[in-house]
């Protein structure tokens, strides 16, 4: 029997880690041979650590080379976000809620839904198959839904996310979802202990849009103003990443989940295009984007449209 690794994107977030663990649990419950192994493509961030500790879950194993491995991708399909050397391994299944960027010669199970999180889709599978959800797994699923939907404030949120979360609440023994969410988002602050590089790379994704290479980091905070005094440090680190990865544009979104908006720091070779796209002027490498909470729904698609 060959192990199949279940793995989320690079710079894993809570959804990537919790989807890997819970989908492995579901698969292993169905087949009972324990051949599915949760894995991760990078370090566990502080928010995810909070969730894993709270619900007593084990870390997925680190898989930094997919050569010769059978792999199920969760929470991404984008080639740039897949594990290293996946082309020398085999992707056997995908479960995701993002843009679809996937091509393969052989048919596989490709499960894509416009849900708020991958864990919404996985929770739904448990319910549909009438499989008991262990308390730990319910907690992880709930944590990932609350994280990806920013406590249901993000425009990616669907009615189904809320329904599923409400069904998971009693199983995970969580009474107040809002408090649970704020505690979780607070767990990843402690900014003064972190370098600008750490803060930027925790949730950083690269995209190839209309021939341009764009890097976008999202820093979710309960108070974005805490980070503003460090703007120059951010810009310096952004310049380093931009040069090293040969990017046309790098954007760091300081997302304030309470005020519901982003301070965007921007270094770009195409500022005109960015200003036109968001109908705002960039002043001192900065623009404020009220109402914007989702990179996936509110930042990437308009950029993709502008560049196509
Ligand atoms: Mg993710
Ligand atoms: Mg996700
Ligand atoms: Mg997120």
DSSP 283: B
Is the pTM for the entire model greater than 0.95?
A: no
Residues with CB under 5 A from ligand 3 (ion): 13
Question: Which has the closest alpha carbon to 219: 187, 189, 184?
Answer: 189
Using CA atoms, how far apart are residues 81 and 77, in angstroms rounded to an integer?
A: 7
DSSP 34: -
Give the number of whichever ligand sits closest to the CA of residue 145. Answer: 2
Sign of torsion, CA 96 102 106 107? positive
Q: How many CB atoms lie within 10 A of CB 142?
A: 29
State in Å: Cα 2 to ligand 3 middle: 32
Common-topology check for domains 4-185 and 191-307? no
State in Å: Cα 302 to ligand 1 middle: 19
State in Å: Cα 277 to ligand 1 middle: 24
What pLDDT is recorded for position 101?
Answer: 84
Give the number of whichever ligand sits closest to the CA of residue 42. Answer: 1
Rounded to 5 degrees, φ, ψ at 211 are: 80, -5
Placement of tokens 């894509």 in the chain: 112
CB distance 6 to 26 below 8 Å: no
Question: Which has the closest alpha carbon to 262: 197, 216, 201, 301?
Answer: 216
Question: Which has the closest alpha carbon to 18: 115, 89, 121?
Answer: 121
Average pLDDT for consecutive 10-residue bins of the chain (308 residues)?
Answer: 94 97 96 91 95 98 97 94 95 95 91 97 98 98 97 96 98 96 88 93 90 95 94 98 97 96 97 96 97 95 93
What pLDDT is recorded for position 120?
Answer: 98
Give the number of whichever ligand sits closest to the CA of residue 120. Answer: 2
Please report how many Cα atoms fall inside a 13 Å half-sphere around the Cα of residue 172, on the Cβ side.
Answer: 28
Using CA atoms, how far apart are residues 31 and 33, in angstroms rounded to an integer?
A: 6
Q: How far is CA 12 from the centre of its chain?
A: 6
Give the number of whichever ligand sits closest to the CA of residue 205. Answer: 1
State in Å: Cα 43 to ligand 1 middle: 13
Question: Which has the closest alpha carbon to 30: 129, 128, 108, 110?
Answer: 129
Read off the tokens for 56: 């007593």
CB distance 136 to 24 below 8 Å: no
Domain positions in the chain are: 4-185, 191-307
Q: How far is CA 145 from the centre of its chain?
A: 11
Give the number of whichever ligand sits closest to the CA of residue 294. Answer: 3
Please provide the CATH number assigned to the domain covering 4-185.
3.90.1640.10
State in Å: Cα 182 to ligand 3 middle: 14
State in Å: Cα 32 to ligand 3 middle: 32
State in Å: Cα 16 to ligand 1 middle: 5
Give the number of whichever ligand sits closest to the CA of residue 295. Answer: 3
Options 3.40.50.10420, 3.10.310.20, 3.30.420.40, 1.10.3720.10; CATH for 191-307 is: 3.10.310.20
State in Å: Cα 280 to ligand 1 middle: 28
């Amino acid at each position: 029997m060959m192990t199949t690794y279940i793995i989320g994107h690079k710079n894993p977030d809570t959804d990537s880690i919790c989807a890997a663990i819970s989908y492995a649990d579901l698969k292993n419950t169905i087949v009972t041979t324990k051949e599915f192994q949760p894995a991760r493509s990078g370090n566990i961030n502080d928010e995810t650590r909070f969730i894993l500790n709270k619900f007593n879950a084990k870390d997925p194993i680190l898989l930094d080379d997919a050569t010769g491995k059978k792999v199920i991708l969760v929470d991404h399909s984008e080639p740039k976000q897949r594990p290293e050397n996946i082309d020398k391994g085999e992707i056997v299944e995908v479960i995701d809620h993002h843009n679809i960027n996937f091509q393969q010669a052989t048919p596989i199970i490709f499960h894509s839904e416009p849900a708020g999180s991958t864990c919404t889709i996985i929770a739904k599978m448990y319910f549909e198959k009438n499989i008991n959800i262990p308390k730990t797994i319910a907690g992880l699923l709930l944590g990932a839904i609350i994280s990806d939907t920013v406590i249901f404030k993000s425009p990616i949120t669907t009615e189904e996310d809320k329904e599923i979360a409400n069904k998971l609440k009693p199983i995970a023994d969580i009474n107040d979802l809002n408090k649970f969410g704020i505690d979780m988002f607070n767990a990843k602050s402690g900014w003064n202990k972190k370098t600008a590089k750490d803060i930027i790379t925790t949730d950083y994704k690269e995209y190839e849009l209309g021939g341009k290479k764009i890097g976008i980091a999202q820093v979710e905070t309960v108070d974005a103003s805490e980070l503003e005094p460090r703007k120059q440090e951010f810009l310096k680190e952004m310049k380093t990443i931009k040069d090293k990865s040969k990017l046309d544009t790098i954007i760091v979104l300081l997302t304030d989940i309470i005020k519901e908006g982003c301070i965007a720091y921007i270094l770009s070779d195409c500022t005109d295009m960015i200003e036109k796209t968001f109908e705002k002027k960039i002043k001192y490498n900065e623009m404020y984007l009220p109402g914007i909470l989702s990179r996936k729904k509110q930042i990437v698609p308009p950029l993709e449209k502008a560049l196509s």
